[in-house]
Structure 1
Amino acid sequence: MTRNAATLAGFGAVVLWSTLALFTTLSGEVPPLQLLAMCFAIGGMLGLVAGVSRRGWRAVRDAGRQPWPVWVLGVGGLFGYHLLYVLALRAAPPVQASLIAYLWPLLIVLFASLSTGDGLRAHHLAGAFLGFAGAALIVTGGRGVALSADHAAGYALALVAAVVWAGYSVLSRRVASVPTDVVTGFCLAAAVLSAVAHLALERTVAPQGVEWLAILGLGVGPLGLAFFLWDIGVKRGDLPVLGAASYAAPLLSTLVLVAAGQAQATWALGLACLLITGGAALAARDMLRRQAAA
């Protein structure tokens, strides 16, 4: 797979993540950790079926033979990020916590320059900052936000969540030889850990009617296939471009909510669209040139 194709695969994960808000809204009152346990289980089981159908039980053996640092990285990334984000939303106002957590695309751009040979150029950084400005407009609705010392623990959790996901994404490049099928094991392990955390922190709520379809949609898409596509992108694609382009997730998510009648179109959304699109195009300048040359 070429670098450009892998980058596009990674962006496919971003597109799937844009459905996260809509499906989560439709999942009703199911607590977040319970929802994660169910969705990780669905994504993991689908990955298992797909892996065994393509490669037989070698797909399972490959996962079992991976050294423990690979498992720490994969399970820590998937489960660690989501657990920290849920805890951050419990300890701080959602707007501020979400804005801090959405530093991860910018951190990917920065970390990639330190740990890979991709190199960090001015247009990568400028594109990432434009994307963050656009994401900030979407999260805040164009209104300023104030950080309160009373919620410092929640802000810290959100920042650590951003570091964890960015670290997982960039360090995955170091284990590029690990088959993407192993993400199946990460999802199943994350499902078990999410279930344990749910039983310790939440009350179980049985989904009703259409909520089951929303949970299935989450498990198949943004909390399932997306992780496999992201694995391909971060291992073989252009990390700075992926980082900047990831800011399209809150924009696409908001557009999906507007189309579904769950949100209103505003001036802030229009400006955010320009900032995020412009930032992604700026960061992807080298990739677009490679495509044009090809």
Structure 2
Amino acid sequence: MIRQSKATAIGFCAIILWSSIVGLIKEVSHSFGATAGAAMIYTTASIFLFFTIKWKPLAEFSKKYLIFGALLMVSYELCLALSIGYSQNSRQAIEVGMVNYLWPTFTMIAAVLFTSKKANWLILPGILISMLGIVWVLGGEQGFNVSEMMSNIEKNPLSYGLAFLGALLWAGYCVVTIRISNGANGITFFFMITAAVLWIKYLFLFDQSSMDFSFSSITYLLLAGCAMGFGYAAWNIGIMHGNVTVLAGASYFTPVLSSLLSSFLLSASLGLSFWQGALLVCTGSILCWLSTKKSLKKE
């Protein structure tokens, strides 16, 4: 049995690994293209997962979980990887990543709407603050500027749209799988499907682009695959054996940590208004989370 403190530390490693994903996906897409790069990342991650979480026979999973879990997870991963890969520059990649981090807020909304979980009044300001944070981030150096935000989105609606859709899909996955997974974890199988879909898209849907194999590109590929694969493996250990409350609270600061690591990896300069928006997204997510915790304590 893993000691709780050690398991919690491993869970923190997962948060750090996931926080590096945006920058690493963008670096890999620079060398291999959006689709091929993502396919190579998920292929590498699947290999890492196979040897860490290991393979579990599909017969041990419920059919509902395999169907709906795969549909939601694969769709989410496609949206995540391609939204970042299709971004036009480093700053935009980080902004797209921030839009994807609306998923904690959406998860709480979905949990309240579609499960027995209840929330108090804090969920309303939480939702509003999260959305305000995105407007602030996409408003550029002017901060809260709706017209500037719309102008930025119009420059690349595909990336921003995929990131927003991904946030909704992940919220759906979190809520649905809790009810139908029976504690099972099909992440290895889901990642294999994701890799296969991306390779099919690359090979047969005229999305082929040149590949630049070099020491640095292969290094970034291995790091991205490691961050994806080991991130899920480490999180699985953390939530099973560690302090779930501490890990859940820490995970809500992932947008800030992700932006920090991404700005370093991509050599992107982020102004004060961006960090203000990132903090607003985190604050809104935390308020949504607290709204459900408070209500539970009163029952």
User: Residue 214 of structure 1 is aligned with which of 211, 220, 244?
Assistant: 220
> Identity, % of aligned pairs?
21
Residues 75-86 of structure 1 correspond to what in structure 2 (within 5 A)? 75-84=70-79
Aligned to 1:124: 123
For 1:284 and 1:150, the matched residues in 2 are separated by 33
Task: Evaluate the alpha carbon distance shift between residue 276 and residue 245 of structure 1 in structure 2; reply closer, same or farther with a 3 A threshold.
Answer: farther
Aligned to 2:113: 114
For 2:34 and 2:96, the matched residues in 1 are separated by 15
Asked if residue 40 in structure 1 is aligned to residue 39 in structure 2, the reply is: no
CA contact (8 A) 1:173 1:235 kept: no
Aligned-partner SS, 1:134: helix
Q: Which moved more, 1:111-120 or 1:141-150?
A: 141-150
Asked if residue 256 in structure 1 is aligned to residue 252 in structure 2, the reply is: no
Aligned to 1:282: 287
Aligned to 2:17: 16
One-letter amino acid matched to 2:77:
H
Q: Which moved more, 1:223-232 or 1:150-159?
A: 150-159
One-letter amino acid matched to 2:71:
G
Aligned to 1:193: 197
Asked if residue 134 in structure 1 is aligned to residue 133 in structure 2, the reply is: yes
One-letter amino acid matched to 2:226:
V
Deviation of 1:284 after TM superposition, in Å, equals 4.7
CA contact (8 A) 1:138 1:250 kept: no
User: Residue 146 of structure 1 is aligned with which of 145, 150, 160?
Assistant: 150
Task: Evaluate the alpha carbon distance shift between residue 158 and residue 43 of structure 1 in structure 2; reply closer, same or farther with a 3 A threshold.
Answer: closer
Deviation of 1:176 after TM superposition, in Å, equals 4.2
CA contact (8 A) 1:89 1:154 kept: yes
Q: Which moved more, 1:260-269 or 1:147-156?
A: 147-156
Q: What is the TM-score when the length of structure 1 is the normalising length? A: 0.72
For 1:74 and 1:138, the matched residues in 2 are separated by 31
Deviation of 1:85 after TM superposition, in Å, equals 5.1
Aligned-partner SS, 1:195: helix
Task: Evaluate the alpha carbon distance shift between residue 98 and residue 282 of structure 1 in structure 2; reply closer, same or farther with a 3 A threshold.
Answer: closer
CA offset digits 1:15-49 (Å, max 9, x no partner): 43321232234323311221222221222222221
For 1:268 and 1:43, the matched residues in 2 are separated by 34
Task: Evaluate the alpha carbon distance shift between residue 131 and residue 246 of structure 1 in structure 2; reply closer, same or farther with a 3 A threshold.
Answer: farther
Task: Evaluate the alpha carbon distance shift between residue 68 and residue 206 of structure 1 in structure 2; reply closer, same or farther with a 3 A threshold.
Answer: farther
For 1:140 and 1:227, the matched residues in 2 are separated by 32
Aligned-partner SS, 1:264: coil
RMSD: 4.4
Deviation of 1:72 after TM superposition, in Å, equals 2.4
Task: Evaluate the alpha carbon distance shift between residue 254 and residue 171 of structure 1 in structure 2; reply closer, same or farther with a 3 A threshold.
Answer: same
User: Residue 184 of structure 2 is aligned with which of 179, 184, 188?
Assistant: 179
Matched positions, count:
278
For 1:69 and 1:146, the matched residues in 2 are separated by 39
For 1:33 and 1:260, the matched residues in 2 are separated by 20
Q: What is the TM-score when the length of structure 2 is the normalising length? A: 0.71
Task: Evaluate the alpha carbon distance shift between residue 23 and residue 280 of structure 1 in structure 2; reply closer, same or farther with a 3 A threshold.
Answer: same
CA contact (8 A) 1:39 1:224 kept: no
Q: Which moved more, 1:145-154 or 1:190-199?
A: 145-154
CA contact (8 A) 1:31 1:205 kept: yes
Unmatched tracts of structure 2, length 5 or more: 143-147, 295-299
Aligned to 2:297: none
Unmatched tracts of structure 1, length 5 or more: 53-58, 290-294
Aligned to 2:168: 163
CA offset digits 1:63-95 (Å, max 9, x no partner): 343233222233323321233456667999868
